[in-house]
Amino acid sequence: MKTTAVRLYGKKDLRLETFELPAIKDDEILAKIVCDSLCMSSYKAAIQGADHKRVPDDVDKNPIIIGHEFAGELIEVGSKWAHKFKAGEKFSIQPAMNYEGGPVGILSAPGYSYAYIGGDATYVIIPNEVMEQNCLLSYKGAGFYPASLSEPLSCVIGAMHANYHTTPGSYVHKMEIVDKGKMAILAGVGPMGLAAINYVLHREDRKPSLLVVTDIDQARLDRAARLYTPEFAASRGIKLVYVNTAALPDPVAGLKELSSGEGYDDVFVFAPVRSVIEQADAILAFDGCLNFFAGPSDPKFSAMMNFYNVHYAYTHVVGTSGGNTDDMIEALELMGRGMDPAGLITHIGGLNAVIEATLNLPSIPGGKKLIYNHIDLPLTPISDFARLGESNPVFRKLAEICEKNRGLWSIEAENYLLENCASHPKK
Protein backbone atom coordinates (compact mmCIF):
# COMPACT_ATOMS: atom_id res chain seq x y z
CA MET A 1 0.00 0.00 0.00
CA LYS A 2 1.03 3.63 -0.42
CA THR A 3 2.09 6.04 2.28
CA THR A 4 2.67 9.78 2.21
CA ALA A 5 5.57 10.88 4.39
CA VAL A 6 8.09 13.62 5.09
CA ARG A 7 11.52 12.18 4.32
CA LEU A 8 14.97 13.50 5.16
CA TYR A 9 17.64 13.37 2.42
CA GLY A 10 20.29 15.64 3.92
CA LYS A 11 20.86 18.96 5.63
CA LYS A 12 17.67 21.05 5.38
CA ASP A 13 16.47 18.65 2.68
CA LEU A 14 13.00 17.45 3.67
CA ARG A 15 10.55 16.22 1.04
CA LEU A 16 6.86 15.30 1.22
CA GLU A 17 6.53 12.19 -0.93
CA THR A 18 4.09 9.39 -1.67
CA PHE A 19 5.60 5.95 -2.21
CA GLU A 20 4.82 2.27 -1.93
CA LEU A 21 5.42 0.42 1.32
CA PRO A 22 6.60 -3.18 1.00
CA ALA A 23 4.37 -5.97 2.24
CA ILE A 24 4.93 -6.56 5.95
CA LYS A 25 6.95 -9.55 7.10
CA ASP A 26 5.71 -12.01 9.71
CA ASP A 27 7.61 -10.12 12.40
CA GLU A 28 6.40 -6.62 11.42
CA ILE A 29 3.25 -4.55 11.96
CA LEU A 30 1.49 -2.15 9.60
CA ALA A 31 0.16 0.95 11.36
CA LYS A 32 -1.75 4.13 10.63
CA ILE A 33 -0.29 7.29 12.17
CA VAL A 34 -2.99 9.67 13.35
CA CYS A 35 -0.89 12.48 14.82
CA ASP A 36 2.67 13.52 15.53
CA SER A 37 3.96 16.28 17.79
CA LEU A 38 6.89 18.18 16.29
CA CYS A 39 10.01 18.12 18.43
CA MET A 40 13.09 20.33 18.47
CA SER A 41 15.11 17.13 18.09
CA SER A 42 13.61 16.68 14.62
CA TYR A 43 14.74 20.21 13.78
CA LYS A 44 18.27 19.29 14.87
CA ALA A 45 18.19 16.14 12.72
CA ALA A 46 16.94 18.13 9.73
CA ILE A 47 19.62 20.78 10.16
CA GLN A 48 22.49 18.33 10.71
CA GLY A 49 21.48 15.63 8.22
CA ALA A 50 23.96 12.74 8.13
CA ASP A 51 26.13 14.51 10.73
CA HIS A 52 23.43 13.74 13.32
CA LYS A 53 24.33 10.73 15.45
CA ARG A 54 21.00 9.00 14.83
CA VAL A 55 20.78 9.65 11.07
CA PRO A 56 22.39 7.09 8.70
CA ASP A 57 25.39 8.20 6.64
CA ASP A 58 23.67 7.18 3.39
CA VAL A 59 20.49 9.16 4.02
CA ASP A 60 20.98 10.95 0.70
CA LYS A 61 20.41 7.62 -1.09
CA ASN A 62 18.14 5.93 1.47
CA PRO A 63 16.00 8.66 3.05
CA ILE A 64 14.37 8.26 6.45
CA ILE A 65 10.94 9.33 7.71
CA ILE A 66 11.16 12.04 10.39
CA GLY A 67 9.03 12.45 13.52
CA HIS A 68 9.12 10.47 16.76
CA GLU A 69 6.30 11.76 19.01
CA PHE A 70 3.44 9.92 17.35
CA ALA A 71 0.34 7.88 18.01
CA GLY A 72 -2.00 5.86 15.87
CA GLU A 73 -3.81 2.62 15.22
CA LEU A 74 -2.51 -0.84 14.34
CA ILE A 75 -3.80 -2.00 10.93
CA GLU A 76 -2.21 -5.41 10.29
CA VAL A 77 -0.19 -7.53 12.71
CA GLY A 78 2.39 -10.06 11.57
CA SER A 79 1.99 -13.62 12.85
CA LYS A 80 4.95 -13.37 15.26
CA TRP A 81 3.19 -10.64 17.26
CA ALA A 82 -0.45 -11.70 16.85
CA HIS A 83 -0.49 -13.09 20.40
CA LYS A 84 0.36 -9.66 21.85
CA PHE A 85 -1.12 -7.01 19.52
CA LYS A 86 -4.40 -6.77 17.63
CA ALA A 87 -5.54 -4.71 14.67
CA GLY A 88 -7.51 -1.70 15.83
CA GLU A 89 -5.48 -1.11 18.99
CA LYS A 90 -4.20 2.41 19.69
CA PHE A 91 -0.51 2.77 20.30
CA SER A 92 2.48 4.98 20.89
CA ILE A 93 6.17 4.15 20.50
CA GLN A 94 9.20 4.67 22.68
CA PRO A 95 11.73 5.81 20.07
CA ALA A 96 14.88 5.50 22.21
CA MET A 97 15.28 1.77 21.68
CA ASN A 98 18.99 1.24 22.52
CA TYR A 99 19.14 -1.41 19.81
CA GLU A 100 22.53 -2.32 18.39
CA GLY A 101 21.20 -3.88 15.18
CA GLY A 102 19.56 -0.74 13.79
CA PRO A 103 20.70 1.35 10.81
CA VAL A 104 23.06 3.45 12.95
CA GLY A 105 23.69 0.97 15.74
CA ILE A 106 22.68 1.51 19.33
CA LEU A 107 21.47 5.07 18.63
CA SER A 108 18.94 3.94 15.99
CA ALA A 109 15.46 5.32 16.54
CA PRO A 110 12.15 5.66 14.67
CA GLY A 111 11.96 9.19 13.32
CA TYR A 112 15.71 9.41 12.75
CA SER A 113 17.03 6.17 11.30
CA TYR A 114 14.39 4.16 9.41
CA ALA A 115 13.04 4.17 5.86
CA TYR A 116 9.55 2.92 6.74
CA ILE A 117 8.76 4.25 10.21
CA GLY A 118 8.55 7.79 11.51
CA GLY A 119 5.86 10.04 12.92
CA ASP A 120 5.31 12.23 9.88
CA ALA A 121 3.69 9.62 7.63
CA THR A 122 0.19 8.36 6.94
CA TYR A 123 1.14 4.67 7.23
CA VAL A 124 4.31 2.99 8.50
CA ILE A 125 5.82 -0.43 9.00
CA ILE A 126 6.87 -1.06 12.59
CA PRO A 127 10.03 -3.22 12.47
CA ASN A 128 10.60 -6.30 14.59
CA GLU A 129 13.19 -4.63 16.83
CA VAL A 130 10.62 -2.14 18.13
CA MET A 131 8.53 -5.01 19.52
CA GLU A 132 11.60 -6.98 20.63
CA GLN A 133 12.68 -4.00 22.72
CA ASN A 134 9.15 -3.64 24.18
CA CYS A 135 8.93 -0.19 22.61
CA LEU A 136 5.50 -0.61 20.98
CA LEU A 137 3.16 0.52 23.75
CA SER A 138 -0.61 0.18 23.90
CA TYR A 139 -2.68 3.23 24.75
CA LYS A 140 -6.12 2.75 26.28
CA GLY A 141 -7.09 6.35 26.95
CA ALA A 142 -9.34 8.67 24.97
CA GLY A 143 -8.24 10.28 21.72
CA PHE A 144 -4.79 10.18 20.14
CA TYR A 145 -2.94 13.38 20.99
CA PRO A 146 -2.35 12.40 24.66
CA ALA A 147 -0.51 9.29 23.45
CA SER A 148 1.48 11.40 20.99
CA LEU A 149 2.55 13.70 23.82
CA SER A 150 3.42 10.79 26.10
CA GLU A 151 6.90 10.74 24.52
CA PRO A 152 7.83 14.29 25.56
CA LEU A 153 6.22 13.65 28.95
CA SER A 154 8.38 10.54 29.33
CA CYS A 155 11.44 12.74 28.83
CA VAL A 156 10.62 14.89 31.85
CA ILE A 157 9.64 11.80 33.84
CA GLY A 158 13.05 10.34 33.07
CA ALA A 159 14.72 13.59 34.12
CA MET A 160 12.98 13.53 37.50
CA HIS A 161 13.97 9.91 38.05
CA ALA A 162 17.58 10.60 36.99
CA ASN A 163 18.31 13.20 39.66
CA TYR A 164 20.22 11.88 42.63
CA HIS A 165 21.30 12.79 46.14
CA THR A 166 23.58 11.42 48.84
CA THR A 167 23.88 11.18 52.62
CA PRO A 168 27.00 12.71 54.20
CA GLY A 169 29.41 9.93 55.01
CA SER A 170 27.95 7.63 52.37
CA TYR A 171 28.64 7.47 48.66
CA VAL A 172 25.48 5.55 47.84
CA HIS A 173 23.43 7.55 45.35
CA LYS A 174 19.75 7.94 46.19
CA MET A 175 18.03 8.30 42.85
CA GLU A 176 15.08 10.69 42.41
CA ILE A 177 14.11 14.21 43.39
CA VAL A 178 13.91 15.02 47.09
CA ASP A 179 10.43 14.28 48.41
CA LYS A 180 9.01 17.46 50.03
CA GLY A 181 12.16 19.28 49.00
CA LYS A 182 12.63 22.52 47.08
CA MET A 183 12.60 22.45 43.27
CA ALA A 184 13.26 25.07 40.60
CA ILE A 185 12.49 24.78 36.89
CA LEU A 186 14.43 27.47 35.02
CA ALA A 187 13.34 28.75 31.59
CA GLY A 188 10.42 26.54 32.42
CA VAL A 189 7.33 27.67 30.52
CA GLY A 190 8.17 26.35 27.07
CA PRO A 191 6.54 23.09 25.94
CA MET A 192 8.84 20.77 27.88
CA GLY A 193 8.80 22.97 30.96
CA LEU A 194 5.00 22.90 30.94
CA ALA A 195 5.14 19.12 30.68
CA ALA A 196 7.42 19.05 33.73
CA ILE A 197 5.09 21.28 35.74
CA ASN A 198 2.10 19.15 34.77
CA TYR A 199 3.92 15.98 35.84
CA VAL A 200 5.12 17.41 39.16
CA LEU A 201 1.60 18.55 40.05
CA HIS A 202 0.00 15.19 39.19
CA ARG A 203 2.61 12.81 40.56
CA GLU A 204 1.41 10.67 43.45
CA ASP A 205 4.52 9.04 44.93
CA ARG A 206 6.67 12.10 45.64
CA LYS A 207 6.59 15.84 45.10
CA PRO A 208 8.41 18.99 46.21
CA SER A 209 7.02 21.28 48.89
CA LEU A 210 8.17 24.32 46.89
CA LEU A 211 8.22 24.61 43.09
CA VAL A 212 9.61 27.81 41.57
CA VAL A 213 9.23 28.24 37.80
CA THR A 214 11.16 30.98 36.00
CA ASP A 215 11.23 32.61 32.58
CA ILE A 216 11.87 36.06 31.09
CA ASP A 217 8.65 36.19 29.05
CA GLN A 218 5.78 37.47 31.20
CA ALA A 219 3.09 36.47 28.71
CA ARG A 220 4.29 32.86 28.74
CA LEU A 221 4.51 32.91 32.54
CA ASP A 222 0.96 34.24 32.77
CA ARG A 223 -0.29 31.50 30.45
CA ALA A 224 1.48 28.83 32.51
CA ALA A 225 -0.06 30.24 35.69
CA ARG A 226 -3.53 30.01 34.10
CA LEU A 227 -2.96 26.42 33.02
CA TYR A 228 -1.28 25.17 36.18
CA THR A 229 -2.48 27.41 38.94
CA PRO A 230 -0.86 28.00 42.33
CA GLU A 231 -4.26 27.18 43.81
CA PHE A 232 -4.31 23.72 42.24
CA ALA A 233 -0.71 23.18 43.30
CA ALA A 234 -1.62 24.12 46.88
CA SER A 235 -4.36 21.48 46.82
CA ARG A 236 -1.59 19.00 46.00
CA GLY A 237 0.60 20.20 48.89
CA ILE A 238 2.96 22.25 46.70
CA LYS A 239 3.71 25.96 46.93
CA LEU A 240 4.01 27.04 43.29
CA VAL A 241 5.62 30.38 42.41
CA TYR A 242 6.13 31.81 38.91
CA VAL A 243 9.01 34.29 38.62
CA ASN A 244 10.09 36.63 35.83
CA THR A 245 13.83 36.74 36.45
CA ALA A 246 14.21 39.63 33.99
CA ALA A 247 12.35 41.78 36.53
CA LEU A 248 14.69 40.88 39.41
CA PRO A 249 17.70 43.15 40.07
CA ASP A 250 19.61 40.09 41.28
CA PRO A 251 17.94 36.86 40.06
CA VAL A 252 20.16 34.56 42.13
CA ALA A 253 19.49 36.49 45.35
CA GLY A 254 15.77 36.69 44.58
CA LEU A 255 15.46 32.97 43.90
CA LYS A 256 17.47 32.03 46.98
CA GLU A 257 15.25 34.28 49.08
CA LEU A 258 12.19 32.33 47.90
CA SER A 259 13.88 29.18 49.24
CA SER A 260 14.39 30.85 52.64
CA GLY A 261 18.05 31.20 51.78
CA GLU A 262 18.65 27.45 51.66
CA GLY A 263 18.78 26.97 47.91
CA TYR A 264 17.11 24.22 45.89
CA ASP A 265 17.49 20.46 46.14
CA ASP A 266 16.56 19.89 42.48
CA VAL A 267 17.11 22.42 39.70
CA PHE A 268 16.11 21.72 36.10
CA VAL A 269 17.42 23.83 33.21
CA PHE A 270 15.10 23.92 30.18
CA ALA A 271 17.08 26.20 27.87
CA PRO A 272 20.66 25.77 26.58
CA VAL A 273 21.67 29.24 27.74
CA ARG A 274 24.94 29.74 29.60
CA SER A 275 23.58 32.39 31.97
CA VAL A 276 20.64 30.16 32.94
CA ILE A 277 22.96 27.23 33.71
CA GLU A 278 25.21 29.43 35.84
CA GLN A 279 22.13 30.79 37.63
CA ALA A 280 21.02 27.21 38.32
CA ASP A 281 24.43 26.33 39.74
CA ALA A 282 24.36 29.36 42.02
CA ILE A 283 21.00 28.48 43.61
CA LEU A 284 21.75 24.83 44.45
CA ALA A 285 21.40 23.76 48.06
CA PHE A 286 23.83 21.46 49.86
CA ASP A 287 23.67 18.10 48.04
CA GLY A 288 21.63 19.80 45.31
CA CYS A 289 21.33 18.28 41.84
CA LEU A 290 21.36 20.31 38.62
CA ASN A 291 19.69 18.57 35.68
CA PHE A 292 20.68 20.07 32.32
CA PHE A 293 17.64 19.01 30.32
CA ALA A 294 17.89 21.19 27.22
CA GLY A 295 20.27 19.72 24.68
CA PRO A 296 22.33 22.34 22.79
CA SER A 297 22.98 22.27 19.05
CA ASP A 298 26.56 23.52 19.52
CA PRO A 299 28.88 20.58 20.32
CA LYS A 300 31.28 23.03 22.03
CA PHE A 301 28.63 24.60 24.27
CA SER A 302 29.91 25.17 27.81
CA ALA A 303 29.22 27.13 30.97
CA MET A 304 30.97 27.89 34.26
CA MET A 305 30.27 25.74 37.29
CA ASN A 306 31.38 26.16 40.91
CA PHE A 307 33.63 23.17 41.51
CA TYR A 308 34.38 24.29 45.06
CA ASN A 309 30.76 23.41 45.78
CA VAL A 310 31.05 20.15 43.86
CA HIS A 311 33.74 19.13 46.34
CA TYR A 312 32.56 20.71 49.60
CA ALA A 313 28.80 21.13 49.15
CA TYR A 314 28.22 17.80 47.38
CA THR A 315 26.47 19.44 44.45
CA HIS A 316 25.85 17.26 41.39
CA VAL A 317 25.11 17.74 37.71
CA VAL A 318 23.32 15.32 35.40
CA GLY A 319 22.02 15.52 31.86
CA THR A 320 19.12 13.51 30.48
CA SER A 321 17.97 13.01 26.92
CA GLY A 322 14.70 11.20 26.42
CA GLY A 323 12.93 8.75 28.66
CA ASN A 324 13.09 4.97 28.75
CA THR A 325 10.29 2.48 28.23
CA ASP A 326 9.29 2.51 31.90
CA ASP A 327 9.01 6.31 31.75
CA MET A 328 6.84 6.03 28.64
CA ILE A 329 4.58 3.47 30.30
CA GLU A 330 4.23 5.77 33.31
CA ALA A 331 3.32 8.64 30.96
CA LEU A 332 0.70 6.57 29.14
CA GLU A 333 -0.79 5.42 32.44
CA LEU A 334 -1.09 9.03 33.59
CA MET A 335 -2.76 9.96 30.30
CA GLY A 336 -5.07 6.97 30.57
CA ARG A 337 -6.12 8.15 34.03
CA GLY A 338 -7.06 11.53 32.60
CA MET A 339 -3.97 13.75 32.90
CA ASP A 340 -4.45 16.09 29.94
CA PRO A 341 -1.36 17.47 28.16
CA ALA A 342 -3.41 19.88 26.04
CA GLY A 343 -1.76 22.88 27.70
CA LEU A 344 1.40 22.11 25.75
CA ILE A 345 -0.32 22.45 22.36
CA THR A 346 -0.56 25.88 20.71
CA HIS A 347 -0.67 25.02 16.99
CA ILE A 348 -2.49 22.48 14.81
CA GLY A 349 -1.46 21.51 11.29
CA GLY A 350 -1.63 18.86 8.62
CA LEU A 351 1.09 16.74 7.05
CA ASN A 352 1.57 19.43 4.40
CA ALA A 353 2.76 21.84 7.14
CA VAL A 354 5.56 19.63 8.50
CA ILE A 355 8.49 20.68 6.33
CA GLU A 356 8.21 24.43 6.83
CA ALA A 357 7.33 24.07 10.50
CA THR A 358 10.20 21.69 11.25
CA LEU A 359 12.85 23.77 9.50
CA ASN A 360 11.65 26.93 11.30
CA LEU A 361 10.71 25.44 14.65
CA PRO A 362 12.99 27.62 16.83
CA SER A 363 11.48 30.80 15.40
CA ILE A 364 7.81 29.80 15.69
CA PRO A 365 6.43 31.09 19.00
CA GLY A 366 4.22 29.11 21.33
CA GLY A 367 4.27 25.53 22.51
CA LYS A 368 3.86 22.18 20.81
CA LYS A 369 2.93 22.00 17.13
CA LEU A 370 0.56 19.04 16.70
CA ILE A 371 0.30 17.49 13.24
CA TYR A 372 -2.65 15.41 12.05
CA ASN A 373 -1.23 13.24 9.29
CA HIS A 374 -4.38 12.54 7.28
CA ILE A 375 -5.29 16.22 6.98
CA ASP A 376 -4.12 19.08 4.77
CA LEU A 377 -3.98 22.18 6.96
CA PRO A 378 -1.49 25.03 7.30
CA LEU A 379 0.15 25.26 10.72
CA THR A 380 -2.44 27.30 12.60
CA PRO A 381 -2.32 28.80 16.11
CA ILE A 382 -5.31 27.79 18.21
CA SER A 383 -5.60 31.46 19.15
CA ASP A 384 -6.41 32.24 15.48
CA PHE A 385 -9.35 29.84 15.25
CA ALA A 386 -11.97 32.46 16.13
CA ARG A 387 -10.70 34.94 13.52
CA LEU A 388 -10.49 32.26 10.84
CA GLY A 389 -13.95 31.09 11.85
CA GLU A 390 -15.45 34.32 10.57
CA SER A 391 -15.18 32.87 7.06
CA ASN A 392 -14.59 29.16 7.69
CA PRO A 393 -17.25 27.05 9.45
CA VAL A 394 -14.76 24.36 10.49
CA PHE A 395 -12.59 26.87 12.32
CA ARG A 396 -15.74 28.47 13.77
CA LYS A 397 -16.73 25.16 15.34
CA LEU A 398 -13.17 24.41 16.51
CA ALA A 399 -13.03 27.87 18.13
CA GLU A 400 -16.28 27.14 19.98
CA ILE A 401 -14.98 23.80 21.22
CA CYS A 402 -11.65 25.23 22.35
CA GLU A 403 -13.28 28.26 23.98
CA LYS A 404 -15.29 26.07 26.35
CA ASN A 405 -12.05 24.24 27.20
CA ARG A 406 -10.18 27.36 28.41
CA GLY A 407 -8.82 27.97 24.92
CA LEU A 408 -7.13 24.56 24.83
CA TRP A 409 -7.14 21.66 22.41
CA SER A 410 -9.25 18.68 23.51
CA ILE A 411 -10.49 15.23 22.59
CA GLU A 412 -13.71 16.82 21.34
CA ALA A 413 -11.75 19.18 19.09
CA GLU A 414 -9.62 16.31 17.81
CA ASN A 415 -12.66 14.19 17.01
CA TYR A 416 -14.32 17.06 15.17
CA LEU A 417 -11.17 17.74 13.13
CA LEU A 418 -10.75 14.10 12.17
CA GLU A 419 -14.39 13.74 11.17
CA ASN A 420 -14.56 16.92 9.11
CA CYS A 421 -11.14 17.49 7.60
CA ALA A 422 -9.69 14.12 6.54
CA SER A 423 -7.95 14.36 3.18
CA HIS A 424 -5.99 11.13 2.86
CA PRO A 425 -8.12 8.06 2.12
CA LYS A 426 -8.07 5.04 4.38
CA LYS A 427 -6.43 1.82 3.25
pLDDT for the residue numbered 427:
35
Q: In percent, how much of the chain has pLDDT > 70?
A: 99
Residues 174 and 306 placed together within one structural domain of the fold: yes
The CATH number assigned to the domain holding 315 equals: 3.40.50.720
pLDDT for the residue numbered 52:
94
The residue segments making up the domain with residue 115 are 2-149+341-421
Residues 70 and 219 placed together within one structural domain of the fold: no
User: For residue 290, is it within any domain?
Assistant: yes
Render pLDDT for 160-170 as a digit per residue (tens, 0 to 9): 999 999 988 88
User: For residue 333, is it within any domain?
Assistant: no
Render pLDDT for 13-41 as a digit per residue (tens, 0 to 9): 999 999 999 999 999 999 999 999 999 89
**Residue finishing a domain among 319, 351, 381:** 319
Residues 196 and 254 placed together within one structural domain of the fold: yes
The CATH number assigned to the domain holding 27 equals: 3.90.180.10
Residues 140 and 169 placed together within one structural domain of the fold: no
Residues 108 and 176 placed together within one structural domain of the fold: no
User: For residue 266, is it within any domain?
Assistant: yes
Residues 111 and 224 placed together within one structural domain of the fold: no
pLDDT band at 425 (very low <50, low <70, confident <90, very high): very low
User: For residue 334, is it within any domain?
Assistant: no
**Residue finishing a domain among 269, 286, 319:** 319
Residues 305 and 348 placed together within one structural domain of the fold: no
Render pLDDT for 275-326 as a digit per residue (tens, 0 to 9): 999 999 999 999 999 999 988 878 899 999 999 999 999 999 999 877 888 9
Instruction: Give whole-number Cα distances, 303 to 139, 207, 297, 298, 373, in Å.
Output: 40, 29, 14, 12, 40
**Angstrom distance (rounded) from CA 117 to CA 114:** 6
Total domains, the chain: 2
Mean pLDDT of the chain: 94
Render pLDDT for 323-341 as a digit per residue (tens, 0 to 9): 888 999 999 988 888 889 9
User: For residue 239, is it within any domain?
Assistant: yes
> Has residue 426 got a pLDDT over 80?
no
pLDDT band at 421 (very low <50, low <70, confident <90, very high): confident
pLDDT for the residue numbered 96:
82
pLDDT band at 423 (very low <50, low <70, confident <90, very high): low
Residues 207 and 309 placed together within one structural domain of the fold: yes
Render pLDDT for 178-192 as a digit per residue (tens, 0 to 9): 999 999 999 999 889
150-162 and 325-336 helices, crossing angle to 10°: 120
pLDDT for the residue numbered 227:
92
pLDDT for the residue numbered 169:
84
Residues 128 and 173 placed together within one structural domain of the fold: no
**Residue finishing a domain among 287, 319, 351:** 319
User: For residue 364, is it within any domain?
Assistant: yes
Residues 233 and 299 placed together within one structural domain of the fold: yes
HEC profile of the chain? CEEEEEEEEECCEEEEEEEECCCCCCCCEEEEEEEEECCHHHHHHHHHHHHCCCCCCCCCCCCEECCCCEEEEEEEECHHHCCCCCCCCEEEECCCCCECCCCCCCECCCCCCCCCCCCCECEEEECHHHHHCCCEEECCCCCCHHHHCHHHHHHHHHHHHHCEECCCCCCCCEECCCCCCEEEEECCCCHHHHHHHHHHHHCCCCCCCEEEEEECCHHHHHHHHHHCCHHHHHHCCCEEEEEEHHHCCCHHHHHHHHCCCCCEEEEEECCCCHHHHHHHHHCEEEEEEEEECCCCCCCCCCCCCCHHHHHHCCCEEEECCCCCHHHHHHHHHHHHCCCCCHHHEEEEEEHHHHHHHHHCHHHCCCCEEEEECCECCCCEEHHHHHHHCCCCHHHHHHHHHHHCCCCCCCHHHHHHHHHHHECCCCC
Render pLDDT for 69-111 as a digit per residue (tens, 0 to 9): 999 999 999 999 999 999 999 999 998 887 778 888 888 999 9
User: For residue 332, is it within any domain?
Assistant: no
Render pLDDT for 131-152 as a digit per residue (tens, 0 to 9): 999 999 999 989 999 999 998 8
Residues 206 and 242 placed together within one structural domain of the fold: yes
Residues 304 and 406 placed together within one structural domain of the fold: no
| pLDDT greater at residue 264 or residue 367 | 264
User: For residue 286, is it within any domain?
Assistant: yes
